[in-house]
Amino acid sequence: MAVRAIRGAIQLDVDEREHLLASTRELVGEVMRANALSSEQLISIIFTVTADLRSEFPAVAARELGLGDVPLLCTVEIDVPGSLPRVVRLMAHAELDVPRAQVQHVYLRGATALRLDIAQ
């Protein structure tokens, strides 16, 4: 079994707690669905948010999905002028028995602009 990194991102409409939590749950759920992941396969998830998101930690949403025993970390993305606003990103590390090229990265809503080459 190999350790693989899975990337994902979602752009929020507003910085409101419930919207951030619902959007993060959507992102995590889609990453898990697209890669046929169980929580047992997850090693850790690192979340980043753009500097304009302050209403809640994305890890709260992951815990709400039952991932409380998965190590979770939240941090702020580099605030590059002109970058896409209101984005939650994640990098999940998981045990996956697939080649790296078959890992399904997930970019939702406006975050598809970040990776047009692989956005779903």
User: Confidence band (pLDDT; 50, 70, 90) for 113?
Assistant: confident
User: Confidence band (pLDDT; 50, 70, 90) for 110?
Assistant: confident
Cα–Cα distance for residue pair 46/75, rounded to 1 Å:
8
pLDDT average, residue stretch 66-82: 97
116 or 67: which carries more pLDDT confidence? 67
Stated pTM of the model:
0.94
- Confidence at residue 119, expressed as pLDDT on a 0 to 100 scale: 55
β-pair type (2-11, 87-96): antiparallel
CATH class of the domain comprising 2-114? alpha beta
Q: What are the sequence ranges of the domains in the chain?
A: 2-114
- Confidence at residue 117, expressed as pLDDT on a 0 to 100 scale: 77
